[in-house]
Structure 1
Amino acid sequence: MQHPEPHGARSSRFRLFFPILAGATLRERLIACLGALIGIGLTGVISGYLFGQGPHLPLIVAPMGASAVLLFAVPASPLAQPWSIIGGNTISAMMGIVAAYFIRDPIIAIGVGVSLAIGAMSLTRCLHPPGGAAALTAVLGGPVVAGWGFLFPFVPVALNSCILVGLGLAFHKLSRRNYPHVAAKPVENSHQTRDLPSSLRVGFREEDVDAALDVLDETFDIDRADLSRLLRQVELQAAVRSHGEISCADIMSRDVIAIGEDADPDHARHLLLKHNIRTLPVKDREGRLVGTIGLRELSEGLNPIAHLLSKPAVAAVADPALSLLPVLTDGRTHAVIVVDADWRVLGLISQTDLLSAMARLLSIKDERVSAASGVSAKA
């Protein structure tokens, strides 16, 4: 009887066929397919409309297909940003034209053209893999490219690239994707002192990321700021997984001091001082949360409360308590409001509540370690 192979064996045998892009879901790939269909199709249509479709001018150059893969499939990549696509293709095509002009041997010219393209793109900070294909096209494009000479990098290469990027910007905006990709703003110390923000004082630091990149001695297709953000999220998810049994419902305060949006600002100030709290949930007439207010907002004048509201930080009762760490350590948020699906206030978790929960987790962990040590010693 034939026994089935272990999963690990199958994984090892077919590992070359596994997706290599992190976060590449089926939905993301389908969106990429649709984007490429629209982007490449309309780029050809618009280019043909502007400059005709005769044999004297290529309608659309082949490297645009590779650019579309990056633009629509991995829009967060540094290699897929607008300047990378436009600058990379245009500059590379120019390097190919220069190589073909001065070097008559096509074998030598293609090597020199691609080499010059990589160097020029690196110096101008627009590295774009399809640029290598643009350089090759400029060298080996035949009489059509030769006829256009030094105009070829601009028409059709730059023209195609600009149209494709413009369509990509519109498509990603409609599909609610972040493009051009902007790395998250570095966490700042809200107290405007030279200390690192509290969330960055524990765990790895930026110099650790630099040291790790030096040790690995490889180039990765990810923005350095995005890499740091990813690693910190990994740390958080590991902590949540290890202590996910504690939910917001377990540690939240249920007797929440709140106020209506039509209340008097002096009454809000009185409640904050009387109960020694820093965040006061504000409800509308139906009892739904509309914002929060604190002494900072109340100090901005005698405006009605409805005009002084801050955007509330919210969570659900079933959320892991430790998932609130990034919010409650950002230096601005002092409490998270726990709401139901209709945004009715169920509870509140302050920095003190979360700190107490973490202290309890640490004490439990110490007790377990001590108990395990005692068992080992007896054995």
Structure 2
Amino acid sequence: MKNLLRFVVPEATPLSYKERLRAAAGAWIGILVTGLVGYIAIGAGLALPALIAPMGASAVLLFAVPSSPLAQPWSILGGNTVAAVIGVTIGLLVPQPFLAAALAIAVSIGAMITLRCLHPPSGAVALTAVLGGPAIHDLGYGFIVWPVLGNSVALLALAVVYNNFTGRPYPHAIRPQAAGHGTKDPAPVERIGFSSSDLDDVLKEFDQVLDIDRDDLETILRRTELRSYRRRATHLDCANIMSRDVIGVAPDDSLKNAYSLMRNHHIKALPVTNDVAEVVGIVTQTDFLDKATWTHGHPRIGFLQRLRLIATGKQAPNDTVKDIMTSPVQTILPTTAIEDAIIIFAEQGLHYLPVVDANQKLTGIISQSDVLVGMLADKAASNSDSDASDAIR
């Protein structure tokens, strides 16, 4: 019986009660407001439907799984529009209703896959266009504009506002590509496991529509892989390997002074702290190369960087550290395990991580090299303990 239930009831991703409530409340608000907007738009005297049933299915996607490729703006607008056009056209050309309905669904699916706007509720839109009765048939191609597009635009607008307000970025953002080195070497995170091309090849072999963004799938797999490494790693924390005598700068220190510190101390990154030692940024060699202009061997803020700063509403640049520093900056705690630091380095493409206390005050800094040395030393210690245990036996 248990096996039968597992076969009938699919395994679900664990969801908190908060997320369940968020999705349900979003759908309630979305359908209610979309219906009211439709009622106000068409008026009580017209025989047009204020709201059509497929919007209920769209609400499930838009509010319960807003990161799904099937729930993105092009999916709902393109899918519903394409399905409505096909449904109305086939309804006019094919008199037999069941044959027309089957053709409308089949052609709509093929068109949506081709146009990359697959949206399951659009199948119901095509079906409504064929089997919706005299009120829908009398609209003809007007059915596409209202209620299909009208409802779709209203529900989509509400989904954008509600999802972002409740902490679910929507539309689902495309993952930015990590800056490469301009060489054939893969990104660091790809050197310890599968490559992106491996995933693409498997997806081609799988040859099925997946209800998950391809980049999200890769991120989940990579994090799983990194966590498996972390589980098998030894548990040395960052306090054991961090540099404690840290050379730092203030936001208002000159670029010339900051660069001199880097050269004199042979370091490649400087944490930036305020008057109470809180970390507010970091400045690296890359920042000097990408954001500063060199004149007579000294760095200063060039014209393009000045425009960037002005466009972001920051204070007028005056050739100081705050004009090129990276802020906000990723930080870690002294108690952070080095295997967790490895994940941050690998996923975010960083080379240095300031270490702060519970009050965000600077206590140290670690580099990728520190982590590597720490892992090797800890591994050697573990091997020595193992050898000693074997000798005792």
**What is the CA deviation profile of residues 317-362 of structure 1, one whole-angstrom value per residue up to 9, with x for unaligned ones?**
2222122224435796331011123210122111111111232355
Deviation, structure 1 residue 140: 1.0
**1:140 is aligned to 2:156:** no
CA distance in 1: counterparts of 2:65 and 2:347, whole angstroms: 29
Match of 1:162 in 2: 153
Q: Which of 106, 115, 118 is 1:127 aligned to?
A: 118
Q: Which runs of structure 2 are paired with 1:282-361 in the superposition (5 Å)?
A: 282-298=272-288, 300=292, 301-302=299-300, 303-311=319-327, 312-329=329-346, 333-360=350-377
CA distance in 1: counterparts of 2:15 and 2:81, whole angstroms: 29
Match of 1:109 in 2: 100
Q: Which runs of structure 2 are paired with 1:176-255 in the superposition (5 Å)?
A: 176-189=167-180, 191-243=181-233, 245-255=235-245
Letter of the structure 2 residue corresponding to residue 121 of structure 1? M
Count, aligned residues: 365
What secondary structure, in the 3-state scheme, does the structure 2 residue paired with 1:144 have?
Answer: helix
CA distance in 2: counterparts of 1:369 and 1:215, whole angstroms: 44
Letter of the structure 1 residue corresponding to residue 65 of structure 2? V
CA distance in 1: counterparts of 2:191 and 2:80, whole angstroms: 42
Deviation, structure 1 residue 285: 1.1
**1:91 is aligned to 2:82:** yes
Match of 2:313 in 1: none
Deviation, structure 1 residue 219: 2.8
Paired-residue identity, %:
37
CA distance in 1: counterparts of 2:348 and 2:56, whole angstroms: 46
Match of 2:31 in 1: 40
Q: Which runs of 5+ in 1 are unaligned?
A: 1-8
Letter of the structure 2 residue corresponding to residue 43 of structure 1? T
**What is the CA deviation profile of residues 172-191 of structure 1, one whole-angstrom value per residue up to 9, with x for unaligned ones?**
222232211123123331x2
Q: Is the 8 A contact 1:109 1:139 kept in 2?
A: yes
CA distance in 2: counterparts of 1:331 and 1:58, whole angstroms: 50
CA distance change for structure 1 residues 297 and 218 in 2, over 3 Å: closer, same or farther?
closer
Match of 1:57 in 2: 48
CA distance change for structure 1 residues 307 and 211 in 2, over 3 Å: closer, same or farther?
closer
Q: Is the 8 A contact 2:236 2:378 kept in 1?
A: no
- TM-score normalised by structure 2 residue count: 0.84
- TM-score normalised by structure 1 residue count: 0.87
CA distance change for structure 1 residues 244 and 93 in 2, over 3 Å: closer, same or farther?
farther
Match of 1:273 in 2: 263
Q: Which runs of 5+ in 2 are unaligned?
A: 293-298, 301-318
